[in-house]
Structure 1
Amino acid sequence: MTVESKLREILAAAFRAETAANPHSQEGLSMSGLGACTRRAAYALAGIPVPPTATSSKENRAANLGTWIHAGLLPRLAQVLGGRTVVEFPVQVDSDGVCIPGHLDLATFALAVPEAEAVVVDVKSVTGSILSDRRLTGPTRAHKLQIWAYGLGLVQSGRRVSHTAVVYVGRERGEVEVFVEEFGPEQEGAVYSRIARLVEWSKAPDEAPRDTAQPRYECPSCPFRARCWSAVGGLPVVDDVQDADPSLVGGVERAALSYLRAGAAESDAKAAKALARAELTQVTAGQYGRVRVGWSAKGAISVRLTAQHSEASSGGQA
């Protein structure tokens, strides 16, 4: 065994050790899963047991890197903000006879006007490609519901919340995108509505809608994947392979997950591009906010971000 291969094994073992040392329970529904796949959330809210294989030790590299970024960044943010700031603060939302717990990343009274109102901050560590997506489209619906639930939890505990802020941090270069939104009855209502729908779906979780018609890259990490996809032959679970060479299993898993991600992204991208192309058909060439739209003599469209966003710039012909 070479020094390189030994180091690779040691690095993998370190990630597995971190996962084992800081287990994240997948039992029940928390605020982080509130806006995720509806069927997964319904299973969790219904109390469907998580199979033992779903809680086995994994490397969970992305999750562990996110945990380490939080562990270093959040205390520093609190230090810079000064007093009246809390991190990893427990909250809960009570609605429709259920309690949804969560731990918000950071809440501070040092930013809001008036100071009696809090700003809730949620930090998301992401890849560069996801960061670029967020620059274009803003926070995902799931991330919005999560941070709105944190805000509602504070409100239910007697505090006042003025704003929420989702902060995306790129794992590669530390680039940051910040999305701030006023918090009020509309956001609270969205959380209450989501919980009410999930309560209904939890009565028959196998009938709850999936957020996708075919397995996506999120599915292999779902603890209910075998049950969810059993009617269509099931989704291969690489964790059940016990006797194969660990390095081979890891390689197959990474390749298979990459294949799922690429396929889902390609399909979604084609559909989104076609829809956007149709919406832009009647648009004249020019500057629209951060985006410049152009047309060739043959009717081909060109779309690119402007110079101030050059790091996320892209062009394309359609």
Structure 2
Amino acid sequence: MSGGLAALLDDVAALTRLAAASVDDVSAAAGRASTKAAGVIVDDAAVTPRYVQGLDPKRELSIIARIAKGSLRNKLLFILPAALLLSQFLPWLLTPILMVGGTYLCYEGAEKLWEKFSGHHEAAAEPASSQGQDHEDVVVSGAVRTDFILSAEIMVISLNEVASEAFVSRAIILAIVAVAITALVYGVVAVIVKMDDVGLHLAQRDSPAAQKLGRGLVKGMPWLLSGLSAVGIVAMLWVGGHILLVGVDELGWHAPYDLVHHAEEAVAHLAPAIEGALAWLTNTFFSALIGVVVGAVVVAVMHVVPKRKKKVAAPGAH
């Protein structure tokens, strides 16, 4: 009896060690997958703060929380199941779907540039005091829609990193990545947009050093948010262009990617000590350039051409 109990305990201990090893493997794989998607994660964090600019400061955290919930819903309920099923049964379809999303990102980034330089804004921003629930719903909807594309890119990059894992392991790893990345991105965004409140609190402290730091934060936050908004626009163009650059290469048209790769190698030889940074900057530049070109074409089709047709068709138009 005692021998049987000892054997059972040995089996339990062995299973426990096996489970612990599996947890370690899943955690390590989730860490690798998250690291591979780091560039898009940074872009996601840069894009989001612009959605709460000009809104009632009392509603900022609430709006960010709603966007974060929408992002998590995107990842867990839509992107994760779709990515797993497609990777299992129709892996060739993942690239075209991502390229459609990349085109949308190019369009949204180029549209912001067009509005900025042409002065054609769809609607003037309302004063924060007059913005109600309907306006917040529009803001959240736009943010979640853009997040969907970035989240899809993050999840597919992560999926490619763990493609050799079993189906169930892939599902668990991607779920961990989804929750961890959402918490990280929107936690950082929440801290960024509330730093001016932290600055006001510090400015009211007795310590001269705290007051100075607080005033610096208050003065610097508008510049930071404006800079992040610009980074967010560039990020959409860069990520969208990069999705298209990699996508056409995977679909068989290798010339554009080869051209960028040769340019990376050429600049890397200029300064071997920082060749990695130079190669990244080169790839980013060409990806953003592709994003601008593709986005400009879509903006022309969606906005410029229809408006010109309306002017020509209008009675008495010259």
TM over 0.5: no
| Greater strand fraction, Structure 1 or Structure 2 | 1
Which structure ranks higher in relative contact order (CA pairs < 8 Å, sequence separation ≥ 6)? 2
- Provide TM-score, normalisation by structure 1: 0.29
Structure with max Cα Rg: 2
More helix by share: 2
